[in-house]
């Protein structure tokens, strides 16, 4: 019973933090919180619950692997659950952030091991998960010389982004390439292009 009361309201400190770090006002923050607590009464969104919610957007494909990557990016403290502050900060960036902020967030998703750069294996892993999520009959944005193979798509994107050809894509290379090539954004995030 005491746990429910402690989760029932956001502290003034949390509200102030979210007002300062998101585009939302106090009323909107409290509305988001009510919905979050309605879905997650203990104040924590588990990987399974996250996948159940997210996969409804992609009913024809297998969203589990992609959800794992998105979940990891939302879970900024790496404790295995998403609390309300992590949830709202990520929602704010992905829905109201500047293009540069969204690209920074996307880079974090592609940087699977969190070492500050993306290698071809990481790029391939994310692109394959996007293919599985989209399902077998979805058309993905194409570029010259690109087949329908996830591996080939990942390799072409990786080579385009690895400006200095050192075998890794830095955050700066990722953001710079995406800002200068709108087709690349469609190739990296076909789930948004398809919606």
The 10s digit of each residue's pLDDT in 35-87 is: 999 989 999 999 998 888 877 766 666 778 888 888 999 999 999 999 999 99
Q: What pLDDT shows up at residue 6?
A: 46
113 plus 158 within the same structural domain: yes
126 plus 163 within the same structural domain: yes
Q: What pLDDT shows up at residue 153?
A: 86
Please report whether residue 181 resides in a domain. yes
Please report whether residue 1 resides in a domain. no
Q: What pLDDT shows up at residue 85?
A: 95
| CATH code of the domain in which 24 resides | 1.10.238.10
C-beta of residue 88 within 8 angstroms of C-beta of residue 24 = yes
Domain-ending residue, one of 96, 121, 137: 96
Quote the number of domains for the chain: 2
The range of the structural domain enclosing residue 171 comes to 99-193
Q: What pLDDT shows up at residue 146?
A: 52
Please report whether residue 47 resides in a domain. yes
Instruction: Tell me the pTM.
Output: 0.77
Task: Using 50 as the pLDDT threshold, list the residues of the chain that sit under it.
Answer: 1-6, 191-195
């Amino acid at each position: 019973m005491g746990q429910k009361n402690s989760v029932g309201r956001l502290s003034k400190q949390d509200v102030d933090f979210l007002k300062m770090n998101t585009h939302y006002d106090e009323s909107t923050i409290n509305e988001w919180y009510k919905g979050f607590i309605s879905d997650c009464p203990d104040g924590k969104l588990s990987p399974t619950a996250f996948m159940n919610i997210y996969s409804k957007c992609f009913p024809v494909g297998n969203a589990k692997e992609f959800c794992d990557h998105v979940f990891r990016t939302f879970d900024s403290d790496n404790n295995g659950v998403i609390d309300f502050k992590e949830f709202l900060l990520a929602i704010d960036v992905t829905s109201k952030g500047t293009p540069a902020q969204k690209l920074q967030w996307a880079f974090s998703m592609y940087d699977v091991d969190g070492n500050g750069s993306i290698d071809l294996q990481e790029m391939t892993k994310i692109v394959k998960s996007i293919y599985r999520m989209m399902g077998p009959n979805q058309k993905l944005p194409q570029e010259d010389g690109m087949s329908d193979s996830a591996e080939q798509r990942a390799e072409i994107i990786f080579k385009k982004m690895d400006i200095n050809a050192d075998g890794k894509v830095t955050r700066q290379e990722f953001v710079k390439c995406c800002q200068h090539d709108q087709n690349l954004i469609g190739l990296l995030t076909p789930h948004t292009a398809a919606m």
